[in-house]
Amino acid sequence: MNPADAIRPAHVEVSLGAIAQNYDAIRAHVGTAQVMPVVKANAYGHGLVEVARHLMTHGAPCLGVALLEEAIVLRQAGVTIPILVFGGVATRQIPQFIEHGLMMAASSIDKLRQIDEAAAAVKTKARVHLKIDTGMERIGVHWYSAEKLLEASLQFSNVEVAGIYSHFASSDDSDLSAAREQLSRFLEVLEFYPKHGLQPPLRHIANSGGILQLPESHLDLVRPGIMLYGVYPSKETLRTVPLTSALSWKSQVVFFKVVQPGSPVSYGGTWRSDHQVRVVTVPVGYGDGYFRALSNRGSVLIRGQRHPIVGRVCMDQFMVNLEWGTAYNGDVVTLIGSDGAETITAQDVADAAGTIAYEVLTNINSRVPRVYL
Ligand SMILES: Cc1ncc(COP(=O)(O)O)c(C=O)c1O
């Protein structure tokens, strides 16, 4: 869609080229490890199907998502490469995983048995990745109880163990001791394979933090999410891979006014000026996923200048103080992205809202049209 054709003067621009460029930069950084792009949560707000299709065409060997539903949407959109669903598998979902040829996470012998039976019933082989919990306490068999699962996984003739994985809880920290401990627990579990003279399946643990900060965690495959979209996982994380931001969020000035001294602005009257100011209204709000926490804290770019949000962010609109600056109806307002020499990053918005860049991106909802560049 051309931004000029949008009914609503607000849209997100996604550069698929930037995502492909980040994918290539990650590949160059991890050497022989495969790269599994993570496209869950609407590809971190960038558009599940568009991003997945582009990466498939660009040569990605596989994809990772969180939910069965996300994987089915991709299959229905013609995405044919292997897809791993990271989340836990409910028994009733198993036939659908098999029908759509999706790889599931398995972390108990009981679940492996159910998968084996369901695959046998339709005379096929189901593909699983064994999930080991090395210190996140989310899903997976604990590392200290994993051996029995690995042994059992060899017994089921209708189950192909395509991979074995774990997930870091703190790989984006400056203190990497907890992540190193997780990695060493994972490597300990993996000793099972050489000990029994077996070739291990694909071994993977690295998310963006691991990719950037722990080269020894790259193993056979890495699972980049946030960095694929050109955003570093935290301010502390080492920037060992150059990234290009893929998303801009733009709107337009829809109303201009002069506000008299003492006049309260927006719900609850939380802001007023002691002198006359020019204030413009922007047609974006928390109903689009722009945080209400940005009230009196966030800023936007208009005509290359940074201006503060004043008063509360409403559901569909917010106000910006120009002081005595200039803006006209129709001027571009940049919520995330660059205008002239100024840039507002997803991390800047996260800092102002008291959250992380992941939440800023995934929070931009379907009311905001995506435009692909
Ligand atoms: C299992 C798994 N792997 C990889 C990722 C990607 O993480 P990141 O966006 O930090 O690279 C996630 C996201 O949280 C995940 O849940």
Choice from 35, 138, 167 to test ligand 1 binding pocket (greatest atom count within 8 A of CB): 167
Residues framing ligand 1 (Cβ under 6 A) = 38, 64, 86, 167, 207-209, 223-227, 233
Fold annotation for 247-372: Lyase, Ornithine Decarboxylase; Chain A, domain 1 (2.40.37)
- Residue-range domain boundaries for the chain: 32-229, 247-372
Q: Looking at residues 131-160, what average pLDDT do you find? A: 97
Task: List pLDDT tens digits, range 292-320.
Answer: 999 999 999 999 999 999 999 999 999 99
Q: What is the pLDDT at residue 7?
A: 77
The answer to whether 315 is annotated as binding is yes
Q: How much distance in Å is there from the Cα of 238 to the middle of ligand 1?
A: 17
Q: What is the pLDDT at residue 6?
A: 64
Is residue 227 within 8 A of residue 212, CB to CB? The reply is: yes
Nearest atom (ligand 1) to Cα of 223: 4
Task: List pLDDT tens digits, range 228-279.
Answer: 999 999 999 999 999 999 999 999 999 999 999 999 999 999 999 999 999 9
Task: Residues 32-229: name the CATH superfamily.
Answer: Alanine racemase (3.20.20.10)
C-beta neighbour count of 123 within 10 angstroms = 7
The residue contributing the CA closest to ligand 1 atom 9 is 225
Q: What is the pLDDT at residue 299?
A: 98
Is residue 338 within 8 A of residue 305, CB to CB? The reply is: no
Q: 102: which 2 tokens?
A: 């999706």
Provide the percentage of residues in the chain whose pLDDT is more than 90.
98
Nearest atom (ligand 1) to Cα of 171: 10
Q: What is the pLDDT at residue 3?
A: 58
Q: How much distance in Å is there from the Cα of 173 to the middle of ligand 1?
A: 15
Cα within 13 Å of Cα(141), Cβ side: 24
